[in-house]
Structure 1
Amino acid sequence: MYYFLVNRTSGKGRSVKIWNEIEEILKEKKVSYQVIITETKEEGLAFLHDLIHSDKNISGIVALGGDGTIHEIMNQLIGTTVPFSVIPTGSGNDYARARGISKDYVKEIEKLLQNDQKKIDLLEIGDRHCMTVVGIGFDAKVADEANRMKWKKWFGGLAYILTIFKVLLTYKPSSVKLTINHEERLFEKVWLIAIANHAYYGGGIKICPNASSDDGKLDLCIIHSLPKWRLLFILANVFEGKHVSMNGVDYLQVESIQVDSDEPLFVTADGEMMGQTPTSISVKKSAFHVIS
C-alpha cells in the first residue's frame, strides 16, 4: 500500500490538481493506495503518526509538497524503515532537485512504482533532523524574512533572491568560533555558514556543490572576511556552485561542527527556522530510507 500525503496549500494549490492526475494513473495501473489531503501541517503529521504505528505493510510514503512538508514528514519517519519519496509541488523543491526528482510526475510515478530503495545520511541538529542544508547567519536571516513574506508562494526561488538584497542593506557579519571535528577555529566577519547533506537550498542555490547524502560527511561552506560589495560578487556565483574556490570562501568536509558566535545568529534547516546559535550539527549515517 502506497500512502500519498497532499499538502493543499503547496505550490499555490497546484498539488491537489497534480494529485487528481496522479490518481488516474494509479487507478489505471491498479495500484493499492490511500491519500490524505491536508489543510494544516498538524493534520498531516497526526495521520502519519497513527499510520506508522498501525500499518506494517507500507510500500512507501509519498509527499506532494515542498521542502517544509518533506522536513516535517522526515522527522516523523526517522527511526523507521518506511521508505519515502516526493512529488515536488513547493516553491523551492531543493531536496527533489538534489536527488534528481523532476516535476514530470508521470515519469516519477513510474520510478516510484519500481520501489528501488536506498539509505541516505541526514543532518542531526539538536533533537531534529534535516535533509538538505543547515544555514547560519546571513542566509538563515534571508530564509526567515522570505518565509514571512506573503508573496513567497507566487515567486518561488525569486522570493529568496529578492530578500537577499533587502537583508543585505542592514546585515552585519559576526565573529564565530567553529569546533570542527573537535578542533577549534576562529573566523572573523562571517557572513554565512552552510552545512550541507545535499547541494541546494533557497530554491536552487548551489551552496555546497560537492555535497552527497551517502558519503557519511557534511559539506561546510563558510563565507567570511569580505566587504559587502565582494559578498555580492560571490553570491552571484553561488547559483552554479562556482564560489567555492574564491577568496573569502572556506569549503570543507566534516563529520560534526559546533557553532558559537559573539552574538546570536539565526539557524535554519531545510528552510525552516531552528532557533539561534550556539548550535551543534553532526551527520547521521545511512539513517533514512528513500525510494530512489
Structure 2
Amino acid sequence: TRHTNTPRHATRLTRQALRDGCDRILAVGGDGTFGEVVDGFFAEDGGPPINPEAVFTPVACGTGEDFRRTTGAPGEPVAAVAHRLRRADVRRVDVGRACFTTDADRTDADRKRTRHFLNVASLGMGADVSRRVHASNAPAWVSGRLRFLWAIVRVIRDYRCRPVTLTVDGQPAGCYRVRSLAVANGRFYGGGLEIAPRAALDDGRLDAIVVGDFSLIRFPHYMRKLYAGAHLPLDKVAAFRGETLTAESPDVVPLDLDGEPVGRLPATFEVLPGVLRLQH
C-alpha cells in the first residue's frame, strides 16, 4: 500500500509498480487520482502501455465521483467495495490521450506535454470550476455535487466566453464562443452533470460537447438539462463524435484532465480503443 502526497505522485508510483512486475493496480481516491494512475499505465511522454495485461481497479472516494457514475458502480463505503470486487468482471475500455500546451515560460517544443485521461478533458469554464473546487475550504459534510454547483455559480458570473476552433477527425467542425467544452470518454463530470449522455467507455470514440454563450437568465434551465443529460437539443449546445479532435484559440483557454489542471489550448485529443483492462 502506498500513499500519494504530491501532484503526479500516483503516476510515478503506478509506472514503477508495473515495471517491477505488478499486474494489478487498485486505487482509492477521486477522478483526479484515477486519471493520474491511468497515465502511469503508459510510458512517459505518451509512450506505449507498460504492461497491456495489467488490470486497473478504481475505488471511488473523492469529491465528484463522476467516473463511478459512468461505470454504474454503486456509491458505497470503501469496506463494502472489497466484497463486491471479488465478483466483478474485467473488461477492456478506451483511454483518452491529450497533447496540450503548458503554462511554463519555455520554448514552443518544451511547452508541449502528453498525458492520458480516463473520464473527461474539460476546457474553458469547466476547467475554472475544477480549480475553484480544488481551492475550496468547504466543510467535509458539504457534498461533492454542492461544491461543484456553488463553484459553477461563482465562476459563471464573470466568465468571458472564448473563441475555440474545432477539428474532428481531420474535418473542420466550426468556431464557437465557448463557455465550456468537454472531450469525454465517460458520461459525467462536474459532480454529476451528465455532459456526454451518448458516451461509452468501449465505443472507440470521444464525445465533444460544446456549451456556448447562453444568456445568464437561462442558467437554471441549462443546469437542469445538464444534470438530466437532456441538453443536446439546446440551441447553444453542439455535439461531435470522433477518434481525434483538435481545439485551438487565440485566447488563453485553460484545460484540465479528469478534474486536474494541466495547461491550456492548443490541444489535440485522441482515443486509444480498448487499451486498458478495467475492473469495477
TM over 0.5: yes
Comparing both chains, which one has the higher relative contact order based on Cα–Cα distances under 8 Å and sequence gaps of 6 or more?
Answer: 2
* 1:129 alignment partner, SS class: strand
TM-score of the pair, normalised by structure 1: 0.80
Structure 1 unaligned spans of 5+ = 1-34
Give 1 or 2: higher helix fraction.
Answer: 1
Whether the 8 Å contact between 1:132 and 1:270 is mirrored in structure 2 is: yes
Whether the 8 Å contact between 1:219 and 1:251 is mirrored in structure 2 is: yes
Task: Report the equivalent of 2:66.
Answer: 94
Task: Report the equivalent of 2:19.
Answer: 53
* 2:252 alignment partner, SS class: coil
Whether the 8 Å contact between 1:160 and 1:202 is mirrored in structure 2 is: yes
Whether the 8 Å contact between 1:87 and 1:103 is mirrored in structure 2 is: no
* Residues matched between the structures, number: 256
Quote the offset at 1:116 in angstroms. 2.6
Task: Report the equivalent of 2:241.
Answer: 253
Match for 2:194 among 191, 200, 206? 206
Change (3 A) 1:42 1:243: closer
Give the share of equivalent positions with the same residue, in percent.
Answer: 24
CA distance in 1, matches of 2:129, 2:259: 10
Change (3 A) 1:110 1:231: same
CA distance in 1, matches of 2:166, 2:214: 18
What is the one-letter code of the residue matched to 1:256? T
Quote the offset at 1:187 in angstroms. 2.7
Match for 2:130 among 140, 143, 161? 143
Whether the 8 Å contact between 2:168 and 2:244 is mirrored in structure 1 is: yes
What is the one-letter code of the residue matched to 1:128? R
Quote the offset at 1:185 in angstroms. 3.1
Change (3 A) 1:187 1:227: farther
User: What's the RMSD between the two structures over aligned residues?
Assistant: 2.1
Task: Report the equivalent of 2:34.
Answer: 70
Structure number with bigger Rg? 1
CA distance in 1, matches of 2:39, 2:224: 33
CA distance in 2, matches of 1:164, 1:287: 33
CA distance in 2, matches of 1:223, 1:37: 37
2:215 is equivalent to residue 227 of structure 1: yes
CA distance in 1, matches of 2:166, 2:10: 37
CA distance in 1, matches of 2:9, 2:57: 19
CA distance in 1, matches of 2:9, 2:167: 39
CA distance in 2, matches of 1:67, 1:249: 25
Quote the offset at 1:66 in angstroms. 1.0
What is the one-letter code of the residue matched to 2:122? G
Whether the 8 Å contact between 1:92 and 1:204 is mirrored in structure 2 is: yes
CA distance in 2, matches of 1:45, 1:225: 36
CA distance in 2, matches of 1:214, 1:161: 29
Alignment of 1:133-282 (within 5 A): 133-151=120-138, 154-155=141-142, 156-282=144-270
Quote the offset at 1:226 in angstroms. 2.4
* 1:210 alignment partner, SS class: coil
Task: Report the equivalent of 1:12.
Answer: none
